[in-house]
Amino acid sequence: MTKIIEVANLTKSYGQNKGVFNLSFEIFEGEVYGFLGPNGAGKTTTIRQLLGFIFPQQGEFKLFGKCLNEAELEIKRDLGYLPGEIVFFEHMRGIDFLNYILELRGLTDRTYMMELITYFELDASGYIKKMSKGMKQKLGLVCCFMHQPKLLILDEPTSGLDPLMQKKFIDLIKQKKREGATIFMSSHSFEEIEKTCDRVLIIKEGRKLSIESIDELKNKVSKTYLVSFKDLEEKRRFLLNDKDAITADNLDVMIRITTELNKVLLKLSTYDVTKIELQKESLERLFIELYETNALESEAVTHE
């Protein structure tokens, strides 16, 4: 499999334990790769280094197998980037700005650009300075996708978009994946990540917590059960002996089945249980659990 992004030991420190430290990961061609972490975790700092806006103090990275300082123009021709905070030429009309960027890229065919404007229901005729936050975000998205890049690096792409537009964005990402594009995106929307990504990289305080496959995470979610015990004594007895319990509340215990269901049922049959319920929950709780994991514990769940 071709590696489109390779990052090795990337480090950029702003002091006081802020920045990105010793970060390594790889993204393969055609992958949609989510980048998650709490506020201030270092997502934007990582992305800005990949674009060459800030420089790492240690470590290196390659895009399309090449270093940025060797092949910047070549790399950026095939790259679409959406910044977290977009800075436009505010005095321009939206459409003029898009045409200008298209020309800078040496392109003349405006067909796909116009399709995207229609798709995102963007009125690009007005001045950018008068546009709402959501309109500016749509303008940024059109600008990022309009040259049909092979690699998309997106920093919180749906920030400011309404739910309908968020759904359209998800559909567009799925389409780009079908077309073979590689996508690296930071997000705070677990739904967006769940619906689009193959794998996720989770960082906290600038350090890698874990790399997870979405399918594996979904598998974990589908094996979470709520077990209710007859009384507190029974629940206590179970908690003393069982390692699968993840949360406990009143007479209920949430367990994640990591072995065959039969074995768990056999074990539960030795307790006075009043109810067993398969939990229909999204990945959200699992993501939050992963956020709360500390770096040392997380070594165990890292898949690399």
Residues that contact ligand ATP, how many (by CB under 6 A): 12
Stretch of residues binding ligand ATP (CB under 6 A), selected from 33-41, 87-95, 127-135, 257-265:
33-41
Amino acid at 201: L
Piece of 14-22, 58-66, 145-153, 158-166 that binds ligand ATP (CB under 6 A): 14-22
Rounded to whole angstroms, the Cα distance separating 59 from 170 reads 33
At residue 286, the 3 state secondary structure works out as: helix
Judged by DSSP in three states, 116 sits in helix
Considering only CA atoms, which of 1, 12, 22, 5 is closest in space to residue 62? Answer: 5
Judged by CB under 6 A, the residue of 34, 42, 56, 140 near ligand ATP is 42
Residue span binding ligand ATP (CB under 6 A) among the ranges 39-47, 160-168, 224-232, 259-267: 39-47
The least distance separating ligand ATP from the CB of residue 39, rounded to whole angstroms, comes to 3
CB of 192 to ligand ATP, least distance (A): 14
Which residue in 14, 53, 89, 100 binds ligand ATP (CB under 6 A)?
14
User: How many CB atoms sit inside 10 A of residue 268's CB?
Assistant: 17
> How many CB atoms sit inside 10 A of residue 283's CB?
20
Q: Scan residues 79-108 and list those touching ligand ATP (CB under 6 A).
A: 84
- CB nearer ligand ATP, residue 94 or residue 157: 157
For residue 277, give the 3-state DSSP assignment. strand
Asked if 154 and 172 count as a contact pair (C-beta separation under 8 A), the reply is no
Q: What x/- string results for residues 230 through 249 when contact with ligand ATP is judged by CB under 6 A?
A: --------------------
Backbone angles phi, psi at 109, to 5 degrees: -75, 115
SS (H, E, C) 42-83: CHHHHHHHHCCCCCCCEEEEEECCECHHHHHHHHHHCEEEEC
**In the complex, minimum distance from the CB of residue 96 to ligand ATP, in angstroms, rounded to a whole number:** 30
Question: Rounded to the nearest 5 degrees, what angle is found at the Cα of 24, between the Cα atoms of 32 and 149?
Answer: 35
Q: How far apart are the first and last CA of the chain?
A: 16
Tell me the closest approach of the beta carbon of residue 18 to ligand ATP, in angstroms.
4
Residue 195 found at the interface with ligand ATP (CB under 6 A): no
> Taking CB under 6 A as the rule, does residue 37 contact ligand ATP?
yes
Selected range binding ligand ATP among 3-11, 35-43, 98-106, 289-297, rule: CB under 6 A: 35-43
Please identify, among the stretches 34-42, 144-152, 169-177, 213-221, the one whose residues bind ligand ATP according to the rule CB under 6 A. Answer: 34-42
From 36-44, 68-76, 92-100, 104-112, give the range in contact with ligand ATP by CB under 6 A: 36-44
41 binds ligand ATP (CB under 6 A): yes
DSSP assignment of 237-266 = HHHHH-S-EEEEETTEEEEE--S-HHHHHH
Minimum CB–partner distance for residue 7 and ligand ATP (Å): 14
- The answer to whether 52 contacts ligand ATP (rule: CB under 6 A) is no
Could you list the residues that contact ligand ATP (CB under 6 A)? 14, 18-19, 37, 39-45, 84
